[in-house]
Structure 1
Amino acid sequence: MSKKRREIPVFDHPIIETHCHLDYLRDRPLQETLEQTHRVNIERVITIAVSPGNLARVRELTTMASWLYGTQGIHPHEAESYNDAVEQEIRTHARDDGIVAVGEIGLDYFYDNADRGVQREVFRRQLQIACDTDRPVVIHSRDADEDTIAILKEFERSLKRRGVIHSFTSGPGLARYALDQGWNLGFNGITTFNKAENVRDIVRMAPISQILLETDAPFLTPVPYRGRENAPFYLPFIAEKIAEVKQMPLDDVLIQTYQNSLRTFFPTQ
């Protein structure tokens, strides 16, 4: 007989889901997912754009509820589909009601789904959009630490608002640079994986004042629900793991990461 999985904890303090992909969820009706997410005291959800094909869908999702927000940007996997028309769409909607950041943008040299030179050009162009629209940035960086640092250095002065390097799995060099420059690091279900001690080492290094919670749903489902499609309502397990790794009271983690999320994406609230 298989072990019964723990019920999802419900905390007194609200949580903000800073990175998921609502339009990629498949296992249950979206409304059901949203209802369950609210039941576990997740106060706001940010759903992330990744391609020309879902920019408009993300904007549409933000109109479904007052607590749903989104981003506009093109993932490095889709860099070769970036063009002037896509750039104009992102620029036009970057400051829409409900849109809180430019992203998910960056570099991915692990899969190399797009030419690396094209990835770098598209990363720069979208960072410029963030500069021009005064928006924070959601960054994806995988196996590209040196180039990520080099490009971010080009924008140190012009990018007034930072943002987050999400799903952080990079090395301590990128972590130190990002933290020194005022970026947040986003952590998700990977922190619960048995073989992810390198990620937990970065959690230990990062000040709690620069950590954001995310699921990256439908990917990277945390223990104890690995094997199922991920969803925003599993976020409490990630909060618990961050508290465990940092040896902090859970309430302190919840309060500080909530404030970090507000400061990053909702600075006027």
Structure 2
Amino acid sequence: MSKKRREIPVFDHPIIETHCHLDYLKDRPLEETLAQSRQVNIEKVITIAVSPNNLAAVRELAANTSCVYGTQGIHPHEAESYNDAVDQEIRQHATDEKIVAVGEIGLDFFYDNADRDVQREVFRRQLQIACDTDRPVVIHSRDADDDTIAILKEFENSLARRGVIHSFTSGPGLARYVLDQGWCLGFNGITTFNKAENVRDIVRMTPIDQILLETDAPFLTPVPYRGRENAPCYLPFIAEKIAEIKNLPLDQVLSQTYQNSLRTFFPQR
């Protein structure tokens, strides 16, 4: 007999899903996904752009769904598809009413799906858009800690003091740099994985007022639902894990991460 999975907990405090990919979800209709999110008190969902092919899709999702917000940006995997037209599209829509950040941008030297020099150039170009539009950034960094720090230092005096390294799996050096800048680190289902003690170590060193909750759905489904497609409704498991790792009351984690999300992405709301 298979072991029954624990039901998703429902908390009184609202939660903000700061990073998912709604247009990548396949297992259930969007309406059902959002209904399940509402059932566990997820108040806002930020869906993330990653390529020229989904910039418009993200804008449409955000514009047509009251609880959904979006970003505009090109993931490092797609850096070689970046051109002046894409740059102009991101720049034009970065300040749309329902667009809250420039992202997902950054460097990925693990998969190396794009030439590293091209990744660096595209990262810089999109950071400049964030500077010019006074938008926070959502950054992806994998096996590229030193280069990420070096490039961010070039923009230290002009970037908004709001941003996040999402799905943080990097080392303490990058964590300390980002935290010193007043930015946040985003943590997801990886925190629940058995072999992710390195990530839990970063959670321990991160002040609670600089942590954001995310799922990165449809990827990185948390325990106890690993093996299923991820979805924003699993976010409560991540909140519980953060509280456990940091030995803090769950209410404090929920309240503070909610305020962190507002400060980062919704400062005028």
Q: Which TM-score tier does this pair reach, normalised by the shorter chain?
A: over 0.9
Match of 1:115 in 2: 115
Render the CA deviation track for 1:11-62: whole Å, top value 9, x for unaligned.
0000000000000000011111111111110000000000000000000000
Instruction: Specify the alignment match of 2:240 in structure 1.
Output: 240
What SS does the aligned partner of 1:104 have? strand
Offset from partner CA, 1:212-246 (integer Å, 9 cap, x none): 00000000000000000000000000000000000
- Mapped to 2, the partners of 1:156 and 1:64 lie a distance apart of 35
SS in 2 for 1:8: coil
The equivalences for 1:127-146 within 5 A come to: 127-146=127-146
3-state SS of paired residue (1:53): coil
Superposed counterparts of 1:147-166, under 5 Å: 147-166=147-166
2:10 alignment counterpart? 10
> Which residue does 2:89 correspond to in 1?
89
User: Secondary structure, in 3 states, of the residue corresponding to 2:219?
Assistant: coil
Paired letter, 2:262: L
Give the gaps of 5 or more residues in structure 1.
Answer: none
1:165 touches 1:184 (CA, 8 Å); kept in 2? Answer: yes
Q: How does 1:30-179 map to 2 (within 5 A)?
A: 30-179=30-179
CA distance in 1: counterparts of 2:2 and 2:208, whole angstroms: 36
Letter in 1 for 2:62: T
**Structure 1, residues 95-145: CA drift from partner, whole Å, max 9, x if none?**
001000000000000000000000000000000000000000000000000
SS of structure 1 residue aligned to 2:19: strand
TM-score by length of 1: 0.99
> Any gaps of 5 or more consecutive residues in structure 2?
none
1:103 aligns to what SS in structure 2?
Answer: strand
- Whether contact under 8 Å (2:46, 2:69) holds in the other structure is yes
Distance in 2 between residues matched to 1:196 and 1:51, nearest whole Å: 28
Q: Which letter does structure 1 place at the counterpart of 2:195?
A: K
Q: Return the letter of the residue paired with 1:207.
A: P
Q: CA deviation at 1:146?
A: 0.2
Aligned length: 269
Q: Please state how far the C-alpha of 1:67 moved relative to its aligned partner.
A: 1.2
Q: Distance in 2 between matches of 1:30 and 1:57?
A: 13
Give the CA deviation at 1:64.
2.7
Cα displacement (A) at 1:63: 2.1
> Secondary structure of 2:53's partner?
helix
The 1-side partners of 2:199 and 2:72 are apart by 27
Letter in 2 for 1:170: S
Q: What's the TM-score once normalised by structure 2's chain length?
A: 0.99
CA contact (8 A) 1:22 1:30 kept: yes
1:237 match: secondary structure: helix
Q: Is the 8 A contact 1:135 1:161 kept in 2?
A: no
* 1:219 paired residue number: 219
In 2, are the aligned partners of 1:179 and 1:206 still within 8 Å (CA)?
A: yes
Contact 2:189 2:221 in 1 (8 A): yes
* Regions of 4+ moved over 4 Å: none
Q: Distance in 2 between matches of 1:27 and 1:246?
A: 33
Partners of 1:160 and 1:3 in 2: CA distance: 47
SS in 2 for 1:229: coil
Q: Secondary structure at the match of 1:19?
A: strand
Q: What CA deviation, in whole Å up to 9, does each residue of 1:170-189 have, x standing for no partner? A: 00000001101111000000
